[in-house]
Amino acid sequence: METNANYAAVGAFVFASILALVVVLLWLTGAQYSEEYAYYQTYFYGSVSGLGKGTSTRFNGIEVGRVTQLKFDPNNPKRVIVIMQIDPTLKIKEDSVASIASEGITGGSYVEIEGGSKNSPVVERQPGERYPTIKSEQSTLQQLAQSAPQVIAKLNKVGDELSDLLNDKNRKAVSDTLANLQMTTGVIAKRSGDLDAAIDNLSRASGELNTDLTQLNTVLVHTDQAAVNANRILSGDTMGQVTQLVTETRSLVNSLKRVSNQLDREPTKLIFGDRRQGYQPK
């Protein structure tokens, strides 16, 4: 019985030692693992085809970590949460942006982190979040993939409209229009001489009009100068002299009128004088 008890004690001790060793190894491994990487998360809308656990994560084209988990956002099924382990020495800024990139047309996909200005603060974990969140945007390929159906629909519509435009009736109308245009061009070519003559006549008429306008301008200049001279004559002392002359002329005319009236009444008085005697008192 004692031998069995000793074996049991030894077995229990060995088991406990192995268990303790495993716990220590796991703890050391976990501590080392947590020190080697920092964890971040980002969100993508729509398809994340090509991403999976272990997918490369790059910063400005340089590999800095891996994707560790993909899961749906419980609050928005259209959004996929991507958790990444990244080199802890890398300081990811708040204005950094994550997107899904591809290594060429046939290459694999990876998470690309870009941007991050010098003065921007480092992204931090917000209350209620497990990891710091990196902003995300759709890549060019994702945008093309989402807009491809609309583009194809528009191309189909354009194709249908072109087909309607190029039906037999419209093709005949275009053909007739081209024929008429060709005939019109031929007529214009035949009358090119007349057109040249008309253009020449128009050029000469334009030259004559310019000459007439020049002469008219000269007349207007002379007229303006005459007006200036007249203004000078009618101003200052000259105007006073003219006024005096007009006054004296009016006085002379009045005197001549009186003489003329007197001759009409007594024509002999101018020759023989006034022979009437005045009253002489006695």
pLDDT digits (tens, 9 = 90+) for 145-166: 555 566 677 777 777 777 766 6
Query: To the nearest whole number, what is the mean pLDDT of the chain?
Result: 75
Q: What is the dihedral of CA 31, 32, 35, 41, to 10 degrees?
A: -80
Name the amino acid, one letter, at 16. A
- How distant, in Å, are the alpha carbons of 153, 157, 176 from that of 160? 11, 5, 24
The model's confidence at residue 238, banded by pLDDT at 50, 70 and 90, is: low
Name the amino acid, one letter, at 159. G
| pLDDT for position 82 | 94
53-108 pLDDT, tens digit per residue, is 999 999 988 999 999 999 998 888 889 999 999 999 998 999 999 998 887 666 78
SS (H, E, C) 116-146: CCCCCCECCCCCCCCCCEEEECCCHHHHHHH
| pLDDT for position 33 | 47
The model's confidence at residue 31, banded by pLDDT at 50, 70 and 90, is: very low
97-118 pLDDT, tens digit per residue, is 999 888 766 678 899 999 788 8
Average pLDDT over residues 250-255: 72
Longest dimension (CA), the chain: 215
Q: Of the candidates 153, 125, 49, 36, which has an alpha carbon nearest to the alpha carbon of residue 87?
A: 36
More confident call, 152 vs 51: 51
Average pLDDT over residues 195-213: 77
Contact 90/59 with Cβ under 8 angstroms? yes
pLDDT score of 174 more than 50? yes
| pLDDT for position 70 | 93
Q: Of the candidates 69, 72, 74, 117, which has an alpha carbon nearest to the alpha carbon of residue 92?
A: 117
Percent of the chain whose predicted confidence (pLDDT) is above 90: 20
| pLDDT for position 32 | 47
Average pLDDT over residues 154-180: 75
Lowest mean pLDDT among 127-136, 175-184, 239-248: 239-248
From CA 49, how far away is CA 55, in angstroms rounded? 11
pLDDT score of 235 more than 70? no
Contact 14/29 with Cβ under 8 angstroms? no
Backbone φ and ψ for 145, nearest 5 degrees, come out as: -65, -40
